[in-house]
Structure 1
């Protein structure tokens, strides 16, 4: 029985990985989860300089999930290279570094710093506000998606994953733009922009007013967008969004995802990734599936 999948030449022992921002770089979770069993660890976003993040409160519970406005708080690439990469290299799992930035040059600076590091892939978070374009996220404009992808690819030494925002009218336009720009893989969906108001205090629940919504409620949207993107492009897709169970992960694979990231579920169930990996193996055994790749995009009417 084969659970290995191929992401642009990078072989994963199974299709399950962590979602950026919900697992740190694995240090905290390593007490609960055998990182060697994961297909990959996707790190929290890393910028060229330390980012302090947004003011508090910056997390709020909502029906079916949560809102976060952490603001990509991170210690910067220098600390990451000295502290996090050495930790991750002790494990037999693929290392995918999530990169964030406020300008194209910010992204490139991090990509260049990682060029000689033992990192398997780069995931580029284009849901960051583009300072040059008045704050609109890179990922909300097809021309910007193509441009930032091309620029990153000029400097990247590892395969590049472009992480797409769902806060768009047509996800296929963004997927095609990433592919045209040279992306090796796309990942989707990032969080959906939401808002919560405390009616008793008549104040915003988040200091930032808006936040990214994640959790079970966004899953059907993720399945739909992964399916649409898979019909539009010929590069592998990492699916994510509200994955809580084996069934959720299999839905995304059947919709067209080669691999699946597990995010918010890690907060409520630290062993969610391992549970899903075991569940997929059980599903394959029970349904006579010899190769996980048989299931990719296998949904029918």
Structure 2
């Protein structure tokens, strides 16, 4: 336990040192990004990867539409909350996955490496009742007269802090006048350890000259630094597949057995006006554990106004 505490303390110190050193340069706020995802605006079921909210705060000297080649010049301070649940909170099946509330705080940097759009970073992932997410959900169920979720909370993933390293590389290619395609690879080690490969397609002006970042749960990309203002409607498609080595959210020896392969597919529509933009996406998340009978559909929403 002491060893784990020391590692977490060193990780926090390292993140703070990197942020402090980077902020010693002349920096400005380059943008804010956010994404809300929930199965209530997807398939309507309150189960499995049921909801998340992510916020990105971007800092750097300037933004001209291209990634810098210097590591640490552009920093993303990211925070997210996520809830994972069995299919029935009031009466969980013995072989369903356990409830998990996860709060994540991370520091990432985005740069160009040999012509590849690259991001690397580290997160601290907090799990268990210490996050307050299960208590909040219980209050929401009380206010709305929904079934008591306490049975699911009794066996939730316990209090812990995980240090997670994550990196992604991708490269965008123009597809004539029709759109753009961006294949990517991703690797993560920590609360969940996996390697992933996939691609995202964009038809329209969404993302041109902008810095897009990827949401953890669905893989949908959202705008963290705004680029060219191209009004109109854009469409996005994407998908990826991962090989999962281990997961603290589906611990070894539990009733729900981790599936080694995890697939996602997604689509979205973005409308950009002169002073507002709206993105709605829908994502299919494949089975994550052997006993999971089917995949699920999660909706994602991002709304921005300019005053």
Q: TM-score by structure 1 length?
A: 0.30
RCO (CA 8 Å, sep 6+): is it higher in 1 or 2? 1
Higher helix share: 1
Higher strand share: 2
Structure having the higher Rg: 2
